[in-house]
Structure 1
């Protein structure tokens, strides 16, 4: 009996000590925080469009800025809790300025995260209204904007809900009916009634057997590939000079290739200039500064993708001729310098920091979009970016792994007309939703049952803002990642974010029910995700320089690295496709051609084993005849005192 009592006393003592000492601890640490935050907070411009929640903290911020941080007991305290206000005075009644400041910083930070206050000049913490289409213009021109964005079907929310309700009921009925009639051969239920879903194995792409078709080429220089592709696509023409006033003398083609390889292989411009013949460092850096931009890199990629689209050989890999299946995935890479676009992760980078290189690919192996963002960010926010802001590809169905999925993205992609088909880890634990009660379905003998209701009122009450959000994304006024990063940054979920998530729950439930029932869909998702995983291995082989650690700190520079890397990959994919197409066209024996087609169908043009990415060694020089760099007599006679 004594032991539990001692534990209880120890716990109570700890709680009392924590409550008593907490303010002393943060006050003692306040100086370090003040040194970092004080100047920033004095000069930041806050949006002073007050709402009932922001008045108290805004008053405190305005007072702090007016006094240039030199505050006393006259400082506003209404934003603090009663306990915090009491703690501001010590036993002698003296106002604890340092404690006030640290509590003020905490509350300001929380207010920003919660969206109670926002900043005027900022990327992340603007008011959500700054990201959306202007409200007044929206109210006046709603019909025209919806038509321009192709969203007129979603105007009447009652009709949308009615349609989705019928679809969801039909999906529950169809999926369960096939289970009960034993037509779904790949589903079982354990003793607790939990679903166990199996998917027949999908063969991975056999790149080894495909590589055998390139044997007569031995190793192809990456420089030759870039040159061959240039002759056919003229992608280097996209690297135009920034200045349009005067006609410029164009650099040699070798300078273009050096810049692309220096960035895309992560070698670095200075290093590639110093280890190459015919290239000077000044000339290469001048070319890069005046000719290379993120926009130009995207345009060059587009040139290559356009020729790839014309090759019928790649249609061997298309699952459905009426659909284009795409996928996306991220790869973590280290960043060797301090960067706001990188984050620490011991799992991936040890004591270092890194970023995520996020890439999109379609069934034709066209790498059509890439971006770079901090490794701590969720990939789901960037899915819509790649599908909306690429210059070439119109996706019908898109797949990601669990990192790329969220309920909000289900809702957004549905309204963009793209079927979202992610591979969800722990599918049997996923929550299913319905408009009807669970009991309604239980009485019909269904085994797959909903867990929760859809909050229809929440969706309806914010539908106008959802439509405005979708118009903003569809008309490319703001990227989806910017909007969702702001919405998800609120410490208390924003009503608009809750509403789009609630709508997405309907679409997610429809997808899961079909995914359970349709083995062909599951296999198609698996196959497309195998393709993006192979692409990540490909990108790892390309980005070999500097121990695969990016040497640039800025987001734009990092995206230029991954853009040039994608350019090299697309050039290799195109060269492979052209080579295989020509080989098929010139093969006269029908039986041999059929065998080649089978190999190509089961393989992938994402093949690089036959490509020499690392340059060549020159053994024609008589290096043995050259005088040694070292004078051993002088070295051995030198003594360190």
Structure 2
């Protein structure tokens, strides 16, 4: 009916406006980050060019020291030095060289920002006018500075008379924005603009500034559950996750846990000499963990299974899964339930194959047998396979896998490993960015893979953010029959804030941290002293801060658990440094306590280190397996955010289908081997993996038909003679020359 149509249109317009504000704020942050990166790169290039000049100055200083060493008389030495430094009587050139090296010798790249800022200036001002920005605290100094900058937007002079409150800025900024009133107008308009926009991006990221009408950049405090509602949920929630229900009991329990863990490590430390020791700097040194030895019986079993695995095409595998559970029933048009497609299941499977293997509609249509066109595949993708329906189908594949017996020997599914892997993208879109580890542009596919090898969550994230903020989101959105309580990760999968909220949500975070010795470890109180591990601790826990903000922390945890607020958005804000947000500092303090407890266990438990390493290796194997199935190309050729996320779901749907088919085939082979009298144990089976590729035909079958009737040759006489010449027939010389 017409009123429903108008209501739907208004809802869509509202949603798109909210999303547009999110995207504009994200573009603003990314543009500022790009400007800073270019200035840093320029400073590095300048320092490389200055290296020869610096070597010359150091050589000059060496000559001065040589004169001082050889000449004891100060007056004579001074005369020799002056003659050495300025044989022509002019030392200005040397002074200029020293000043130039001093100006670019440190890490202060801020004076170089204006050059890269000015080409984006008009766009950044447009964004600052479009977005309604408000502080989330009583401190309005940055917003007032922004209003001052906007009022002077059309000025051309560099120095202005206005005095701006720059209490939010660092000393480095103050040095280039302000000058003494005796030298003229006190404020540099250009660098004031750069300073304000840079801090605006930082505070948007940390949540100290919000965008009205946005979602990802809204004031998260207004999205939390009211405390009255939290109080009603609190007893049942605390009992479920094993937390104390009052602030004093919570702090007392946490303090007791830290004290007992530290004391246990101190008591057993002399017995751990073979695995751990403390060097002269007071740092623990751990022996490298050795993986479990694979018994010969497990190796022979794996060889026997690999030899007996039936060869299958990817499309045949997907057809098998469809026959078993009809997972394509989840797909259909966005309005209505009737697909109105001819043979819809076949169309859906071909589309999943085309997108999941990264072939794309055009290349897939050229190679798929049957009357399928690029438009058919593209239309099906756009109109019948939205993101939420792909997630439902993926969950069904995972649920089917979890019901099988063989995966239960690999793991119970209650633990997952979280990690990201890089994908190449086009440069100009919201997801793409420069990845500091891979040294190239792209995006990160962040996944949760269960300890029984199946992926339970997947999401594309930009490379500039800390991957750990999606740890909690993956567990809350997985929505499987097996509830996850443990997460393994690498360094990118942890931070103090993430440790805090995984603890509050009843999740055991177990990361493999690179350079973990550089992290600060907290002792329970100042009086706590230990015989063997006292040098590990460099700070003391501020228990009063945790107790004071316990209510705020629990309110956030209950809001995340109830789905009232997105955990990535919240962790992204609380994971960015904020000088104003007291909740940020409380979460940091709590997270450092939980991380200290984990590190103490990590140091004293070799089996824990082996367990974490083994499970993080599983997700590395899965990333390689899924990339192997994405054989159509190296670049995700999409700029639309939803389509980019769908490509990852397609790829994981194909990977899950192949894993499921491999597992079923392995179970059949194991049953046959057992009937034939083959002796193997559950431990032998636990070493197997469903990531087999030797039996999967990615490219289909290519048939050479040499015996078919030949196609007719062209009738031009010159080319006929050329063909005859190639076959060795006698051709007149003049005609051969013409052919040549």
Between the aligned partners of 2:304 and 2:204, the Cα distance in structure 1 is 58
Between the aligned partners of 1:16 and 1:632, the Cα distance in structure 2 is 80
Aligned twin of 1:46: 133
Whether 1:201 aligns to 2:288 is no
Between the aligned partners of 1:625 and 1:118, the Cα distance in structure 2 is 71
Whether 1:553 aligns to 2:645 is no
Aligned twin of 1:380: 468
Asked whether the 8 Å contact 1:263–1:564 carries over to 2, the reply is yes
TM-score (norm 2): 0.74
1:557-572 to structure 2, matched below 5 A, reads: 557-572=643-658
> What's the CA shift for 1:391?
2.1
TM-score (norm 1): 0.84
Whether 1:466 aligns to 2:516 is no
Aligned twin of 2:27: none
Aligned twin of 2:407: 314
> What's the CA shift for 1:97?
6.3
Deviates more, 1:143-152 or 1:238-247: 143-152
Aligned twin of 2:725: none
Q: CA offsets per residue over residues 596-625 of structure 1, 9 Å max, x none? A: 856532121122221111222122475782
> What's the CA shift for 1:299?
0.9
Aligned twin of 2:329: 237
Q: CA offsets per residue over residues 97-152 of structure 1, 9 Å max, x none? A: 6666555545544554565533214455433425x415xxx133231243575569
Between the aligned partners of 1:631 and 1:43, the Cα distance in structure 2 is 68
Aligned twin of 1:421: 510
Between the aligned partners of 1:535 and 1:415, the Cα distance in structure 2 is 29
CA-based RMSD of the aligned residues comes to 4.0
1:48-447 to structure 2, matched below 5 A, reads: 51-54=137-140, 56-62=141-147, 77-80=163-166, 101-102=193-194, 105-106=197-198, 108-109=200-201, 112=204, 115-122=207-214, 124-130=216-222, 132-134=223-225, 138-147=226-235, 149=237, 153-180=243-270, 182=271, 185-190=274-279, 194-198=283-287, 199-203=289-293, 210=302, 212-244=304-336, 248-249=340-341, 251-278=343-370, 279-318=372-411, 324-345=414-435, 348=438, 350=440, 353-392=441-480, 393-437=482-526, 440-442=528-530, 444=531, 446=533
Please, which runs of 5 or more residues in structure 1 have no aligned partner? none
Asked whether the 8 Å contact 1:44–1:119 carries over to 2, the reply is yes
> What's the CA shift for 1:488?
3.0
> What's the CA shift for 1:188?
3.4
Asked whether the 8 Å contact 1:255–1:287 carries over to 2, the reply is yes
> What's the CA shift for 1:53?
2.0
Q: Higher relative contact order by CA 8 Å / sep ≥ 6: 1 or 2?
A: 1
Q: CA offsets per residue over residues 168-212 of structure 1, 9 Å max, x none? A: 2211222222223x2675333445554332333235898996364
**Is the alpha carbon distance of 1:448 and 1:59 closer, same or farther for their aligned partners in structure 2, counting shifts above 3 Å?**
closer
Asked whether the 8 Å contact 2:416–2:449 carries over to 1, the reply is yes
> What's the CA shift for 1:325?
2.3
Asked whether the 8 Å contact 1:294–1:556 carries over to 2, the reply is yes
**Is the alpha carbon distance of 1:70 and 1:126 closer, same or farther for their aligned partners in structure 2, counting shifts above 3 Å?**
farther
Q: CA offsets per residue over residues 244-263 of structure 1, 9 Å max, x none? A: 27674564432112111111
Larger Rg belongs to: 2
Between the aligned partners of 1:317 and 1:473, the Cα distance in structure 2 is 31
Between the aligned partners of 1:248 and 1:91, the Cα distance in structure 2 is 77
Asked whether the 8 Å contact 2:355–2:647 carries over to 1, the reply is yes
Between the aligned partners of 1:476 and 1:366, the Cα distance in structure 2 is 25
Q: CA offsets per residue over residues 526-548 of structure 1, 9 Å max, x none? A: 221121111111012011222x2
> What's the CA shift for 1:354?
0.4
Between the aligned partners of 2:683 and 2:191, the Cα distance in structure 1 is 73
**Is the alpha carbon distance of 1:108 and 1:563 closer, same or farther for their aligned partners in structure 2, counting shifts above 3 Å?**
closer
From 570, 593, 618, give the equivalent of 2:703. 618
Q: CA offsets per residue over residues 303-352 of structure 1, 9 Å max, x none? A: 1111211111222223xx6x8221111111211352210112475254xx
Secondary structure at the counterpart of residue 529 of structure 2 = helix
Q: CA offsets per residue over residues 234-274 of structure 1, 9 Å max, x none? A: 21111132112767456443211211111111111222123
Secondary structure at the counterpart of residue 509 of structure 1 = helix
From 526, 529, 542, give the equivalent of 2:616. 529
Secondary structure at the counterpart of residue 359 of structure 2 = coil
> What's the CA shift for 1:460?
1.9
Aligned twin of 1:538: 625
Asked whether the 8 Å contact 1:389–1:476 carries over to 2, the reply is no
Secondary structure at the counterpart of residue 626 of structure 1 = coil
How many matched pairs? Answer: 621
Q: CA offsets per residue over residues 19-73 of structure 1, 9 Å max, x none? A: xxx9997777764232332322222212377x5421x443454566689867999
Q: CA offsets per residue over residues 206-246 of structure 1, 9 Å max, x none? A: 89963641434452111111111111122111113211276
